[in-house]
Amino acid sequence: MLAHWLIDVDDFASPDSLALFQKELPLEWINQALDETNKASMRRRKLPAELVVWLLVGIGLYRDRPITDVLEKLDLKLSNSLGESIAPSAIPQARKRLTAGPLKALFTMTAQHWTKSEDSEDKWFGLRLFSVDGTQFRTHDNKALANHYQYVKHSKSRHTEYPVVRLCALCSLRSRLLHDVAFGPSSTGEVSYAKQLISSTMPNSLTIFDRCYLSAELMINWQRQHNSSHWMTPIKSNTQYEVIKKLDKEGRDLIVEMDVSQHARKQDPSLPDKWQARLALYPEPEQPNHIKGVLTSLTDSQYDLQSLLDVYFERWEVENSYGEIKHDMLEDELLLRSQSVEGIEQEVWGILIAYNLVRVEISRIAKEAKVSPLRISFMMALRDIQDELMWCAIASPGSIPKKLRAMRERVKRYILPERKNGPNQGPFV
């Protein structure tokens, strides 16, 4: 649970400040991330690497607070092993020495553990459900950030006011935990970032994409990762295909064949000349921007037409995740805090770890309440967790479990009503 995270680290914390996140993010994981990225020697510095990592995650939880305030709220004391105080000005230098590598390694390690522990049993036709989608973050407009992340161009003479970080995430749909992410300059497209997520594809899974990701290279290689790593994406209006087989009398359930473009085969010579998929078509549209149908690698007859059409709408959970991060955690702030490229990378990884931490706690609460994690209000859970972290920083260790149980009972009151299924509302983009 979140309130058992921080432990008594002799280098920088007092014994009375015991434990804010130990259970879900143990110090051993941070040390492993430091070891894997050759930053272990920083533990002997005046400002140890462990404290800097805690701080960067804390910044993600307290977006509206200055860094010195975050230190105070989490009771992270700027002192060395001799108890000598260290000036806050040491933080930027410590962040620079740390680099973004340990934060990235820690995110990867925790995401793999948490997604496996929290949603590996919640399946659709025996498959774990994921989605891939993208979002953007804006940075301060200085030369270094502009040169690296660049602006999004609207035309030859017009572009965004601020440099833009483009991010693409592989999100678990039943828990909204982020399984993997890729991000960087806005000049790189979402499909290119999605290709970086292929290695994180899970066996016995279905990943649902937006239609902008429809690419023979991406879809074929996604399934090549594991024979049972399936995909689904809406068909584009200009997609050309040949019907190979009809699976129903109405002609709405088809096996189709499409050409692989010369450009794609030049990029990846292992691609075939043609590729096949199942095309599940919705009834005749009555609204503009109606989704015509979905292409999928699920060709087996055990996946009936209506189930395929219904499951697509779970894709929206990844967009809800982005809303929770930007609106609830970052409080709709226009820009990320950091002023350097390395700082932006650290900040983004810290935000993502913090988001998953909150989602893990929500998952635990949902299990106790015997409801889906999607029915727990993220904003109310986040606010309660923030309050409890501040309280636990000054509490006696023996009283923390009782307060934590009380917090979970309060959060159970924030259970949202069940939503109507997406398909009943109409398949719109």
Q: Tens of pLDDT along 166-180?
A: 999 999 988 889 999
Please tell me which residue, 90 or 83, carries the higher pLDDT value. 90
pLDDT, position 378: 82
> Cα 212 from chain centroid?
19
Mean pLDDT computed over 122-133: 93
Average pLDDT, the chain: 80
**What whole-number distance in Å separates Cα of residue 150 and Cα of residue 162?**
8
Cα radius of gyration rounded to whole Å, the chain = 23
pLDDT, position 148: 97
CA-angle at 25, arms to 52 and 399, nearest 5°: 100
422: which 2 tokens? 């997406």
Least confident of 26-40, 130-144, 194-208: 26-40
60: which 2 tokens? 């993600």
- Give the number of other CB atoms < 10 A from CB of residue 252: 16
266: which 2 tokens? 């030049």
Residue 23 has pLDDT above 80, yes or no: no
Distances (CA, A) of 184 to 57, 125, 329: 20, 35, 21
Residue 177: closest CA among 102, 113, 100, 105: 113
Distances (CA, A) of 348 to 30, 85, 216, 371, 381: 17, 29, 30, 30, 21
This prediction has a pTM of 0.82
344: which 2 tokens? 């932006």
β-bridge pairing 205-209 and 164-172: unpaired
Distances (CA, A) of 23 to 7, 19, 68, 176: 9, 9, 25, 20
**What whole-number distance in Å separates Cα of residue 68 and Cα of residue 78?**
10
**What whole-number distance in Å separates Cα of residue 107 and Cα of residue 353?**
6
Residue 282: closest CA among 150, 123, 422: 422
Question: What does the pLDDT look like over 381-424, one tens digit per residue?
Answer: 777 777 766 655 544 444 445 555 666 666 666 687 776 654 33
Question: What does the pLDDT look like over 348-389, one tens digit per residue?
Answer: 999 999 889 888 888 888 888 888 888 888 887 777 777 766
Residue 162 has pLDDT above 90, yes or no: yes
188: which 2 tokens? 């790189």
**What whole-number distance in Å separates Cα of residue 82 and Cα of residue 55?**
21
CA-angle at 221, arms to 215 and 226, nearest 5°: 140
Please state, for a pLDDT cut of 90, what percent of the chain lies above it.
43
290, containing H or E segment: none
Question: What does the pLDDT look like over 273-282, one tens digit per residue?
Answer: 999 999 999 9
Q: Per mean pLDDT, which of 62-66, 217-221, 384-388 is the most reliable?
A: 217-221
Residue 335 has pLDDT above 50, yes or no: yes
Question: Where residue 92 falls among pLDDT bands split at 50, 70, 90?
Answer: confident
Mean pLDDT computed over 287-300: 85
Question: Where residue 312 falls among pLDDT bands split at 50, 70, 90?
Answer: very high
Please tell me which residue, 17 or 326, carries the higher pLDDT value. 326
In 105-252, DSSP assigns E strands to 128-138, 164-172, 178-185, 205-209, 229-234, 242-246
Question: Where residue 8 falls among pLDDT bands split at 50, 70, 90?
Answer: very low
The label of the residue with tokens 């015509």 reads 292
Question: What does the pLDDT look like over 220-270, one tens digit per residue?
Answer: 999 999 989 999 999 998 999 999 999 999 999 999 999 999 999 999 999
For 280-312, b where at least 16 C-beta lie within 10 A, e where not — what string?
A: bbbeeeeeeeebbbbbbbbeeeebebeebbbbb
- Classified as helix, coil or strand, 37 is coil
Sequence-ordered list of residues with C-beta below 8 angstroms from that of 399, at least 6 positions apart, any chain = none
139, containing H or E segment: none
Question: Where residue 80 falls among pLDDT bands split at 50, 70, 90?
Answer: low
Mean pLDDT computed over 93-114: 86
**What whole-number distance in Å separates Cα of residue 289 and Cα of residue 393?**
51
Q: What are phi and psi of 168, to 5 degrees?
A: -130, 130
| Contact present, 91 and 347 (Cβ < 8 Å) | no
H-type alpha helices, 16-160: 27-36, 49-61, 67-73, 90-98, 101-119, 143-149
